[in-house]
Structure 1
Amino acid sequence: MKDLLENIKQCTICENHLALGPRPVVSAHPDSKIVIIGQAPGTKVHASGIPWDDASGKQLRNWLDVTVEEFYDETKFAIIPMGFCYPGKEKTGDLPPRPECAPQWHKPLFDELKNIEQVILIGMYAQNYYLGKKAKNTLTETVRNYNEYLPRYLPLPHPSPRNRFWLTNNPWFMDEVLPELRKNVKSIL
């Protein structure tokens, strides 16, 4: 695992497409129990090199009901984004994760992760990649039908502060999905 993580951190496969250059951000340990698969690092995470080191990460830790120490304990959580580097900006936000990362690195990582009990899929890129045809037409439908993907997968919306309108329009998420997420995390940890 150590060599694999070192290879990922030195990856330059999509270097020519990255406005800020490559800086892969990933965290995993052979004993990790829960995998968090998000989209790609933002500029704050690119700068710090620490996954989920921003407002979205704070919200995610709140959703999971875990401390900062628990979240960054690699024997508990592996953090594997769909794109390992900051992809750049477009008009309405960040660009999508680079498509080279997941096919290149996810399988080798999962081959080393023998103790995974749950994979948390954050956002449509992760959900479509891992759920394939089982994903619904929209993120909202996929998250609403989360129980279809248990016990292996649990789909979530992105915890970005920009998603506050989605959260307001979908109160069932806080009432139904978050309690299930927290129960699962507590049970696994």
Structure 2
Amino acid sequence: MGLGLAVELVRRGHRVTYATTEANAERVAETGAEIIPWTSTWDALDVDDVPQMHGKELIRAMGLLLEETRAALAQLGDGEPPDLVVHDGPLCWWGRILAECWRVPSVETWPNLVGNEHWSMHRKYTTFNPLSLGFLRMALRLRRLLPPAGLTGAALWDAVEQVAADEGVRERLGWMRGELAAAGGARAAADEVEKVLNWGS
């Protein structure tokens, strides 16, 4: 969850808990959110070890994200279930898995992958072979990580394929970027989070 969204939700009177590492705890605490400390596997990586999210590096990145997910589930899975989980879509797979395990809704944010006429996730970073052995091994590892009931590897893969095959994704992301900016950024995002919270009311 972005810091601006955390600030806005706290300002609106919500109790916000934020799982973060020691390195980010002070900045997150300034939002008014309660800190849930955890240790990231990425903390041990040198800057040169962080993979790029494209080509052969994408497979290595996904492997590192699996290790990160395993570590997060082990550290956070026994915590108090929230009413809702807000998580980064591309980097925090564990957010959706925890929400499924806790049987609470989740809101996925994509704060760093909004395309425009100068940059596109589709054009720049999705050039890999889905039939490569590395990718298939990663997919099998992901399936083993998912809970046996509820969210399945097939359902997750279907969702990924649906988004990847949709020609209108770039157009919608551009529209969303403009709409969020026009509506007030974090405030608009907090409105959407509150809508999900109020679904059961």
**TM-score normalized with structure 1 length:** 0.37
**TM-score normalized with structure 2 length:** 0.35
Which structure's relative contact order is higher, taking Cα pairs within 8 Å and 6+ residues apart? 1
State the structure with more CA Rg.
2
